[in-house]
Every structure is written in C-alpha cells, then in structure tokens.
Amino acid sequence: MARNLNEVMVIDAVRTAFGRAGEKGIFWKTRADDLSAPLLKALIERNPPVRPEMVEDILWGATNQVKEQGGTIGRFISMLADWGWEIPGCSIDRMCASGLTSIALGASYIATDMADCLITGGVEHMGHLPMGFMRDPHPRAEEVMGDASAFNMGMTAENIHDRYPEFTKDMADQYTVACQNKADAAIRAEKMKDMIIPIEVELADGTKMIADKDQQPRPGTTMETLATLKTPFRQEKGRVTAGNASGLNDGAAAVLLMSEKRAITMGLTPKMRWVSSAVAAVDPRVMGTAPVPATLKALAKAGLTMNDMDIIEINEAFAVQALYCLDRLGVKPDDPRVNQWGGAIAYGHPLAASGPRLVAFLMGLFKENPEARYGLTTMCVGRGQGCSVIWENLLEK
C-alpha cells in the first residue's frame, strides 16, 4: 500500500561538557553510561508534556562497544535513567559518526512511520576506552585498506598534506587559531549554557565538582605557540600536531526527534526539520576527505547546493581535512557560515558524541540567526567514510 513520508523534527538537543581523556580529565571517574542517562532525563524535563513512555526507541552511538560501552548501552541507559523496562534501545557504530548516524537513521525511522518519538545520540569515553581498544584487525587489514597509515588517524591527516600540498601547516595553524578564538568568544558569551547539562562528578583526587564547562578549549592560542609543538605522527617534516588536531575526549550528546504530527498534537515547538542525509566512502588513507562526497550526495537528494547552506557545522578532526573539505565544497576557511562557535579543534572530539554535538550547535545557531534557512552537519569517519545531514530552520523569520 502507498505511504506518505512524515516530516521529521528536532525538538531539542543537549550534551554534557566535554572533558579531556585521561586521569586529568573531569570524567576520569565517571562511566560512559553515567554520562548518557542524565541527558535522557534532561530531554524529558526540558520538554513537557513528553514522558519517558512516549519514547519508542533509543538509538545510541558508541564507537568502542566494549566494557562500559558494551552490552547494548542504548538499551541500558533508559533503565539507568529510572524509566523502567519498557523503553527499547540499541547501539550503533560508524566510528566517529556513530552519533550522527544514529540521528540520520532515527530520522528515516520516523519518516517512514515506524515511530513518532525517538531519542538519538551517542557517547564516548576515550579515557577509559581509547580508540582501537581491544580490536583484533584481520590479517589482511593493511592490504585491503591501503597500508598501515589507514589505522592511524594522525597519519591520515599527514597523508592529506602529502597528496594536496597546497594545504600547508601554516594554513592549518591559522585555521586552528581562528577556531580557538571563535570558541573562546562563544564560551565567554555563554553560548554553551543552554545546551550543556551539568553533572556532578568525582575527580581523580576524590574531590567533587559540577561539570558544566568544556575542558578542552585553549584560549590564547597563537601561531607562535603552535609552531613549537611536536609532530608526533611524523618526526621529520611532519605537519600535524596536537594543536591543529582535535583532542582525545570524553562526553555525550543527545537529540530528541519527533514526527511533525506528534509535535503539533503535543503543542511542542520544533526547532529544525530533517531535509536529507547521506554517507560516502573514500580511500581509508585519506579518510578526512569523505565529507565532500557525502555532502554532495545529501545536497543532491535535497535539490540544494552549498550556496543554500546558511550555516555549516563541520567536525574538525584535523585542520587540514577541514581545509580540504571546505575548499572542495567551494567554501573559504574564513567563511562566516563555518563553525561560528568554533569546532572540534577547540572543544574536542569524543567520537560518537561529536555528531549530535554538531546538531546541538546548529540548533543554537538557527535560534540565534532566524534569517538562516538551511544548515549542514558533516563529519569524516575512520576507515574512510563521511556522513552528512542537512537541516531546515523552523525558527526562521
């Protein structure tokens, strides 16, 4: 029988603060599932009359699905939120884009009338579960992926520098300074206040604090300080440093999706409408280039162009890959549409939490820029993938 597609709306998006991975991080003694459950509670508390039993599924991204992020964490966190046993949930892995994929899949879920209300998002505790933790690569892995550099994200960024030498270290550092400055200005203006859900945590020394501020940003970053940093992925003539790359981080982010008809019935105010989404794959050795084909596919599906994108949120795994992607999409690195509040180079990149963080930023920027109509969230993925989602502002004038 013929079916009509539902319009899919973002009702709300929240996140934790992003902490640094390791013993000096604010979440060193906090579990990944304990980062996730408070976000579920917050989405319900912030959006009456939504109730837990209305949530038909939880699609939760997690890259490393072992230990505290294993056991189908997407199912467990609703019970940890004291919602009982009746809320289904699953875990999704597309490495760095696990969270953004959960949102895109949730949108298609609602669009095809399989659900009316979902919570999507993701978590990553890179302090407890470092990238690659407990993996067992196939004996032919290097052969089929090109070479060993495909397994080292820093090396994939060096490979982009090699293949596309027009993107220099100086350009990457300049981009980094701009990113840190934008983030510093946004934080000072309290742009993060409405999206970060405070969580009480215990630090490594046993003291307790309320984690409500991102730990990673480095205000005052200059070209001079960046020039002194080592290039750990390539000792001689390297260009990728800890400064012009995203950090290793812990954090979670969540998005409440709903069909338009359900939102209207409940008297809620949708913030954004899902327009299209797409994934693409490239040579794993230059995985950071994949947002380009993914974005072009998403634009084609929507019948739009980059000129229609009023706000662009691109996850900055590395400055050089952001520079490449923007250039190939016809966007200058200093275009005012790009990462207006700064990006992952400043805030960090807790893998599966980064995609929903992009959506939370876009939602806030749409509210702040009612004249904007369309926005893009896009990111690269380890092993050579890209994921892009296009949104429409429902708060526009």
pLDDT tens digits for 205-227?
999 999 999 999 999 999 999 99
d(CA 274, CA 182): 27
> Does residue 247 carry a pLDDT above 70?
yes
90 is catalytic: no
Q: Residue 127: name the closest of 221, 242, 35 by CA.
A: 35
d(CA 134, CA 296): 35
Helix (H) / strand (E) containing 119? strand 117-125
Catalytic residue among 90, 96, 138, 179: 96
325 is catalytic: no
Give the confidence band of 3 by pLDDT, cuts at 50, 70, 90: confident
Catalytic residue among 125, 128, 161, 349: 349
pLDDT digits (tens, 9 = 90+) for 9-25: 999 999 999 999 999 99
DSSP collapsed to 3 states, 139-164:
CCHHHHHCCHHHHCHHHHHHHHHHHC
Catalytic residue among 117, 179, 325, 380: 380
117 is catalytic: no
374-381 and 385-393 as β-strands: parallel, antiparallel, unpaired?
antiparallel
Whole-model pTM: value is: 0.98
